């Protein structure tokens, strides 16, 4: 199949690109190459005759129409999005323009192309989203997000993704566009841009800097290894039921404090320092609107499609730490990009971004 993947030079998108090419799919990578993208994320497949790249912005409808007409994809996997919650607090406009308006443009370009092709039965539009659209859960292991959980977004980021989810469902119901949707838990792994918790902890630890944890570190997340996620996404676009959504989770809940302590322990083993890395842990003022707990019930994707994660969080974190130790040439230049290493999302209420 020929797959048009948006955001394919980003963290999750590049994992999908690499896996899709490895499995023999023809891939068109559409990416605007914003601050969190890197061409080196897909360097391992960039020389393949199965891979092509289009630098374009999903807010540019004319560019999308050209790319659809030129490449004639069988499937679309829409991952392009602004994704950092802290950045959405400081600058929500980019999140609305990209995640909402950009998704609208993608849907309209895909619909126009699908109709022009005679509405082929093989066409699929796969929209990739987040569990953050569901809001926050109580600290009760019996309560988890299902595909039927009502939406309750709490940040500009999650609200923009919730909006895009609703648009995708509306285009299916109104126009018959053949769509599938997925909502995932927190991803981690190789090529994770160094503004998110896990790479921040790894790189700060190596630099001897404080390891910042919001609040008391009691917030709980379900952690999903990015290569497991890529595997699940390709399964859903191929075999998922049209109009249906699938929750993808790692089945690895940890508090932020537990997660950071695990990372410190792994680093103590793989890269011993003069003192335990856990001594660098520092608690900082919590993020505004910080959801207490996310946890995915993956029963649907397990029972209908036979998928489940391949690694525990400890196994995945060990792989991740080793990857960062081995790939300083990748992450070192990224530390110079705007906002990286600076605490974002802490503006006073009513204050606007510069």
Please list, residue by residue across 35-74, b when 16 or more beta carbons sit within 10 angstroms of its beta carbon and e when fewer do: ebbbebbbeebeeeebbbbbebbbbebebbbebbeebebb
Residues forming a β-bridge with 222: 253
Residues forming a β-bridge with 282: 212
Separation between Cα atoms, residue 242 and residue 123, nearest integer Å = 10
Residue-wise DSSP of 183-241: EE-EEESTT--TTSHHHHHHHHHHHT--EEEETTS--EEEEEEHHHHHHHHHHHHHHPP
- Is 130 in contact with 161 (CB distance < 8 Å)? yes
The yes-or-no answer on residue 54 being catalytic is no
Separation between Cα atoms, residue 350 and residue 354, nearest integer Å = 13
- Is 16 in contact with 79 (CB distance < 8 Å)? yes
The yes-or-no answer on residue 175 being catalytic is no
Burial class (CB in 10 A: 0-12, 13-18, 19+), 93: exposed
Q: Which of 54, 57, 82, 132 is catalytic?
A: 132
Separation between Cα atoms, residue 311 and residue 233, nearest integer Å = 16
- Is 198 in contact with 263 (CB distance < 8 Å)? yes
Q: Which of 131, 222, 227, 231 is catalytic?
A: 131
The yes-or-no answer on residue 131 being catalytic is yes
- Please report the sign of the dihedral spanned by the C-alpha atoms of residue 174, residue 28, residue 83, residue 325: positive
Q: What 3-state DSSP class applies to 182?
A: strand
Distances (CA, A) of 237 to 75, 165, 224, 240: 7, 16, 19, 6
Q: Which of 51, 113, 157, 277 is catalytic?
A: 157
- Is 347 in contact with 353 (CB distance < 8 Å)? yes
Separation between Cα atoms, residue 298 and residue 302, nearest integer Å = 6
Q: Could you list the active site residues?
A: 131-132, 157
């Amino acid at each position: 199949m020929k797959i048009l993947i948006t955001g394919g030079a980003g963290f999750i998108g590049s994992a999908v690109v690499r896996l899709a090419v490895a499995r023999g799919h023809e891939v068109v990578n559409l990416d605007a190459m914003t601050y969190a993208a890197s061409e080196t994320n897909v360097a391992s497949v960039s020389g393949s005759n199965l891979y092509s790249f289009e630098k374009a912005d999903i807010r540019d409808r004319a560019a999308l129409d050209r790319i659809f007409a030129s490449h004639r994809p069988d499937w679309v996997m829409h991952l392009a999005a602004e994704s950092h919650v802290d950045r959405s607090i400081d600058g929500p406009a980019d999140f609305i323009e990209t995640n909402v308006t950009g998704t609208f443009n993608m849907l309209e370009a895909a619909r126009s192309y699908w109709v022009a092709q005679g509405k082929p039965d093989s066409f699929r539009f796969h929209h990739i989203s987040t569990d953050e659209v569901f809001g926050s859960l109580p600290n009760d292991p019996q309560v988890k997000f299902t595909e039927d959980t009502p939406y309750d977004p709490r940040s500009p980021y999650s609200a923009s993704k919730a909006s895009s989810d609703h648009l995708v469902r509306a285009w299916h119901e109104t126009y018959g566009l053949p769509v599938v949707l997925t909502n995932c838990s927190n991803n981690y792994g190789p090529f994770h841009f160094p503004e998110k918790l896990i790479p921040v902890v790894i790189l700060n630890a190596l630099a001897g800097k404080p390891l910042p944890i919001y609040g008391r570190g009691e917030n709980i997340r379900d952690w999903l290894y990015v290569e497991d996620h890529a595997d699940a996404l390709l399964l859903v676009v191929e075999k998922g039921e049209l109009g249906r959504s699938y929750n993808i989770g790692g089945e690895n809940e940890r508090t932020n404090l537990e997660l950071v302590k695990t990372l410190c322990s792994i680093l103590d083993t793989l890269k011993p320092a003069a003192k335990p890395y856990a001594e660098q842990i520092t608690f900082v003022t919590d993020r505004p609107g910080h959801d207490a707990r996310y946890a995915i019930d993956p029963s649907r994707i397990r029972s209908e499609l036979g998928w489940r994660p391949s690694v525990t969080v400890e196994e995945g974190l060990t792989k991740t730490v080793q990857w960062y130790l081995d790939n300083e040439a990748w992450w070192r230049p990224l530390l110079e990009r705007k906002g990286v290493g600076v605490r974002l999302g802490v503006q006073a209420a009513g204050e606007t971004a510069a």
